């Protein structure tokens, strides 16, 4: 591809993106496709001869886009909805062009330093301690896996078969997977009971630790969640941090979804106790308008991550002579190569500024509050959990089956996408706001759908 050919196709792509971002709300949120449909329409093998970009772009529009779930749709309200904002997309485009791989400072000085600087900016907004070192991962799952590996190493255990990890019964599945990947036995992951509002019970945590100690096991790590996946509940971090300290356990906080709320003064207390944590994960690709993927791990013990992954002797091809000031980020991660993810975050933080970010977060919380209010005033629906941040969990006052059918009908309509979960043993609907384009009118449309489609 010559630079001129690139320019021509690139202009076309940017025009397509701009139109897409403008009109995405007019598309069905979910595609009307069957499993295997795209596979059947694509050739079985790759072309022998190169094809013109016009044809590739046409197939992108005609074959690929119709099978896309529009995560950037203002009525994508499932899971934890997110946004690929304009500034974030521009940063991502430039990162792809630079193709920088900052495994070492020497292989990416600007990317390494921009990562440290932008994570320090965000750390300040969140009110986290100055000595928290930040590093970018692809996802919270990977970040948490690294935290558990560091915790295991810090526990100094040669025999890992007796190590026990504690989390809540409402923790994200990524915590269990992180433990399994770190070699913790399946029977050694404790899911501590939660209270009626889905928060880990500190007394049950202490009892579990005591019981394991009596049985000769080795408790080593606690993972509380700030903003659980099902209901966005908050585990009581100050009490849990005190327990971690009392027993000398690694404390890793999963703030993947709710973390950004701490940017708001009125929600700053969310992170109370986080200053005592050993590590914490927060996902700008969830509720900070940054395109997939970008997750941040903050830790006050970076050396434990380095030690956990250090080799007896680094191979010659990776050794560098340095002044000592440079940070070689690959020393803190299992992956050697590193995408230049910080660029899109830097674009987002600068383009919105703190005020812009606060305005959007507050609007999402306000929209969720208003929707929850409507639910609680309705004779047909009820809240299924306390309304937290930008999430509303609710149900039709009927059977699980009726609620499942209602969810299916809403999603089949193409007008909105909600998700479901189980709380207190009952199936409930989840409406999560996280898209920068979501407005009051979108939620009114969801309300009309509920009224029209309810049993
Ligand atoms: N933690 C919580 C609380 C989540 O809700 C999720 C995903 O929704 C994760 C972790 C996993 O995030 P990721 O997809 O970045 O691995």
pLDDT at 224 over 80: yes
**Mind listing the pLDDT tens digit for each residue in 3-31?**
999 999 999 999 999 999 999 999 999 99
- Please give the pLDDT value at position 171: 98
Q: Is 387 near ligand 1, meaning CB less than 6 Å away? A: no
- For a substitution probing ligand 1, which of 148, 170, 172 has the most ligand atoms within 8 Å of its CB? 172
pLDDT of residue 321 exceeding 80: no
Percentage of residues of the chain with pLDDT beyond 70: 100
Query: Does pLDDT of 215 surpass 80?
Result: yes
Nearest atom within ligand 1 for CA of residue 138? 15
Cβ–ligand 1 distance for 283 under 6 Å, the answer: yes
Q: What is the pLDDT of residues 334-357, one digit of tens each?
A: 999 999 999 999 999 999 999 999
Tell me 293's DSSP state: -
Which pLDDT value is given to residue 334? 96
What is the predicted pLDDT for the residue at 317? Answer: 81
C-alpha distance from residue 315 to each of 98, 305, 338 (Å): 27, 19, 18
* 101-339: CATH class: alpha beta
Say how many Å lie between the CA of residue 432 and the centre of ligand 1.
14
Give residue 324's pLDDT band: very low, low, confident or very high (50, 70, 90).
confident
- Retrieve residue 344's tokens: 């899109």
Q: Does 294 sit in the ligand 1 pocket, CB within 6 Å? A: no
Reported as a pLDDT band with limits 50, 70 and 90, residue 312 is confident
Instruction: Quick: pLDDT tens for 41-74.
Output: 999 999 999 999 999 999 999 999 999 999 999 9
- Of the candidates 419, 333, 389, the one whose C-alpha atom is nearest the C-alpha of residue 145 is 333
Centre of ligand 1 from the C-alpha of residue 65, in Å: 26
Domain spans of the chain, in order of start: 101-339
Bridge partners for 417 per DSSP: 76
- Give the residue-averaged pLDDT of 272-280: 97
| Distance in Å, CA 174 to ligand 1 centroid | 7
**With pLDDT > 90 as the criterion, what percentage of the chain qualifies?**
95
Residue 217 has pLDDT above 70, yes or no: yes
Q: What is the pLDDT of residue 315?
A: 83
Distance between CA 443 and CA 367 in Å, rounded? 8
Q: Edge-to-edge, what's the strand order for the sheet holding 133-137?
A: 133-137, 295-299, 279-282, 250-254, 218-223, 163-168, 189-192
pTM for the model stands at 0.97
Residues 395, 425: contact at Cβ < 8 Å? no
- Residue 370 in this model has a pLDDT that exceeds 70: yes
Q: What is the mean pLDDT of the chain?
A: 96
Neighbours of 319 (CB within 10 A): 10
pLDDT at 326: 86
Beta bridge partners of 219: 164
Nearest ligand 1 atom to alpha carbon 258 = 3
Average pLDDT over residues 422-440: 97
The pLDDT value given to residue 319: 81
Is residue 323 predicted with pLDDT exceeding 80?
no
Average pLDDT for 75-94:
97
Under DSSP, the state recorded for 255 is -
**Number of C-alpha atoms within 13 angstroms, CB side, residue 20?**
18
Helix (H) or strand (E) holding 55: helix 53-59
pLDDT at residue number 322: 74
- Would you state the pLDDT for residue 313? 82
Ligand 1 atom with least separation from CA of 295: 15
**Residue 157 pLDDT > 70:** no
Residue carrying structure tokens 């907004």: 125
**211 Cβ contact list (under 8 Å, min separation 6):** none
Q: What is the DSSP string of 87-147?
A: HHHHHHHHHHHHT---SSTTT-HHHHHHHHHHHHHHHHHHT--TT-EEEEES-HHHHHHHH
């Amino acid at each position: 591809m010559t630079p001129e050919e690139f320019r021509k196709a690139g202009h076309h792509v940017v025009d397509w993106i701009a139109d897409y971002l403008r009109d995405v709300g007019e598309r069905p949120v979910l595609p009307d496709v069957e499993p295997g449909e795209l596979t059947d329409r694509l050739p079985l093998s790759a072309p022998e001869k190169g094809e013109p970009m016009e044809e590739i772009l046409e197939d992108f529009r005609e074959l690929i886009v119709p099978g896309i779930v529009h995560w950037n749709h203002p009525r994508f309200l499932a899971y934890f909805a997110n946004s690929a904002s304009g500034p974030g997309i521009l940063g991502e485009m430039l990162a792809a062009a630079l193709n920088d791989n900052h495994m070492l400072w020497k292989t990416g000085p600007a990317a390494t330093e921009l990562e440290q600087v932008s994570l320090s900016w965000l750390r300040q907004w969140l009110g986290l301690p100055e000595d928290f070192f930040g590093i970018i991962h692809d996802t919270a799952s990977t970040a948490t896996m690294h935290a558990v590996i560091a915790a295991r190493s810090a526990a100094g255990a040669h025999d890992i078969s007796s190590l026990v990890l504690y989390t809540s019964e409402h923790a994200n599945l990524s915590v269990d997977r992180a433990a399994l990947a770190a070699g913790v036995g399946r029977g050694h992951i404790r899911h501590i009971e939660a209270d009626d509002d889905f928060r880990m019970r500190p007394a049950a945590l202490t009892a579990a630790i005591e019981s394991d100690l009596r049985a000769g096991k080795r408790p080593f790590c606690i993972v509380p969640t700030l903003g659980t996946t099902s209901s966005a509940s908050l585990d009581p971090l100050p009490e849990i941090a005190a327990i971690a300290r009392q027993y000398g356990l690694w404390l890793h906080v999963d703030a993947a979804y709710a973390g950004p709320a701490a940017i708001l003064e009125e929600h700053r207390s969310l992170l109370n106790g986080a200053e005592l944590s050993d590590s914490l994960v927060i996902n700008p690709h969830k509720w900070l308008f940054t395109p997939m993927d970008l997750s941040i791990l903050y830790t006050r013990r970076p050396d434990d991550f380095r030690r956990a992954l250090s080799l007896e002797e680094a191979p010659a091809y990776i050794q560098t002579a340095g002044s000592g000031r440079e940070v070689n980020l690959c020393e803190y991660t299992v992956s050697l190569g590193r995408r230049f993810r910080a660029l899109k975050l830097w674009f987002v933080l600068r383009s919105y500024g703190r005020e812009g970010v606060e305005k959007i977060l507050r609007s999402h919380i306000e929209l969720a509050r208003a929707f929850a209010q409507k639910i609680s005033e309705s004779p047909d629906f009820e809240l299924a959990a306390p309304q937290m941040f930008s999430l509303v969990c609710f149900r039709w006052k009927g059977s699980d089956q009726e609620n499942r059918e209602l969810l299916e009908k809403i999603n089949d309509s193409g007008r909105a996408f909600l998700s479901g979960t189980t709380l207190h043993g009952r199936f409930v609907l989840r409406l999560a706001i996280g898209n920068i384009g979501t407005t009051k009118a979108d939620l009114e449309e969801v309300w009309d759908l509920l009224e029209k489609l309810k049993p």
